[in-house]
Amino acid sequence: MTLAPIALSCGEPAGIGLELVQKAWSLLKDEMAFFLIGDPSHLAGDVPTIVISEASQAPAAMAQGLPVLAQTFLGDAVPGQPDPKNAEGVMRAIAVGTQLAMSGAASALCTAPIHKKALKDGCNFAFPGHTEYLAHLADVQRVVMMLASAQLRVVPATIHIPLRDVPTALTPAVLRETIAITAAGLTTQFGIASPRIAVAGLNPHAGEGGAMGREDMEIIAPTLAEMRTQGYDVVGPLPADTMFHAQARATYDAAVCMYHDQALIPIKTLDFDRGVNVTVGLPFIRTSPDHGTAFDIAGKGVANPSSMVEALRMAHRMALAKTQPHP
Ligand SMILES: NC(=O)c1ccc[n+]([C@@H]2O[C@H](COP(=O)([O-])OP(=O)(O)OC[C@H]3O[C@@H](n4cnc5c(N)ncnc54)[C@H](O)[C@@H]3O)[C@@H](O)[C@H]2O)c1
Ligand SMILES: N[C@H](C(=O)O)[C@H](O)COP(=O)(O)O
């Protein structure tokens, strides 16, 4: 069975995304097929471009140049200076990629980084990030954001919300859904038959028996106890400061954390160059590099493509696995 190509949305044209897409084509053109969804006039550099009119043309075009499913954007791509006129095109590229991945014309969607404020300023983008936008496009109530590398997988139970709102957002239902979706994703997308999940506490020392906050004992611990009775292999709440060293990491397949930075600091410290963002719970495969638009180095040619390459490789592996019959 021939695998459909991967759709790659362009992200913010003023960031490093398009440079990374071109570098990824040079590195992966003999390994897999993908195509950019974006404006060809935004591409700088000397990587050849092949404009295609439908996804199915990408595999044949891949050897000659970067296949581009062309979209017309209203602004130019000026490194480090997002043009509000491009915001609608950035959003549209994600929507087109989603539609292609949902229809099966693309085997997965990989997304180059967006600049959230540029989208909000430019087209009143109503979502905090891709994760929430993709859930909306796919009409899915709840997804989880996982960042994965060879050394660690992390999932924040709350994602893009202010820190002050975290304690009230951490309800038993949110924890249950996060753990259940994570466990299912570890099995279906990462091939782990019996996933082991470690759950971080919210407060210092996981609350120290209530002396340093009560959410750990009143919300997290009872939810985990209930989930254990349902067969989930879940431990916690664990003091977050000691659950990411090498020996601790060897005891679990994913760490569910209580808020964005509790999850993302360890993985971006350990593996910034190779981390991949995966949205778990969508009806299609979505990956992304673990970094942002990096305006400070945009246009300089120095951006490291490793995370983008890993994101494409992970999407490709997951898509291939979907075509294999289950043992
Ligand atoms: N998947 C996504 O769409 C995504 C992911 C993370 C951040 N963002 C967005 O990106 C914007 C900028 O975020 P930020 O500044 O916090 O993080 P960032 O990842 O863009 O940059 C942080 C630092 O890492 C460096 N860096 C990032 N990627 C690099 C690469 N490939 N090679 C070399 N150096 C690299 C940058 O130069 C910068 O010094 C924000 O709007 C944020 O929301 C988007
Ligand atoms: N929270 C992610 C990070 O810091 O790496 C990033 O903002 C990406 O989120 P989306 O995939 O939802 O855009």
The pLDDT assigned to 45 comes to 85
Indicate which CATH number applies to the domain containing 30: 3.40.718.10
The pLDDT assigned to 78 comes to 97
Same domain for 152 and 129? no
The pLDDT assigned to 324 comes to 79
Domain that holds residue 244: 143-278
Q: What is the ipTM of this complex?
A: 0.97
Whole-structure pTM value: 0.96
The number of folded domains in the chain is: 2
Same domain for 87 and 131? yes
Same domain for 118 and 25? yes
pLDDT digits 0-9 by tens, 208-233? 999 999 999 999 999 999 999 999 99
* Parts of the chain with a pLDDT under 70: 1, 325-327
Ligand 1 centroid to Cα of residue 158, in Å, is 20
Integer Cα distance of 274 and 290 in angstroms: 8
The pLDDT assigned to 40 comes to 96
Mutate-to-test residue for ligand 2 from 90, 115, 120, 160, highest number of ligand atoms within 8 A of CB: 160
Same domain for 201 and 257? yes
Same domain for 17 and 110? yes
The pLDDT assigned to 172 comes to 98
- Residue owning the nearest CA to atom 23 of ligand 1: 294
Same domain for 121 and 34? yes
pLDDT digits 0-9 by tens, 30-69? 999 999 999 999 999 889 999 999 999 999 999 999 999 9
245 is in an annotated binding site: no
Residues with CB under 6 A from ligand 2: 129-131, 145, 264, 277, 288, 290
The pLDDT assigned to 1 comes to 62
Query: What spatial distance separates the first Cα and last Cα of the chain, rounded to whole Å?
Result: 18
Same domain for 9 and 59? yes
Q: Residue 106's beta-bridge partner residues?
A: none
Same domain for 214 and 316? no
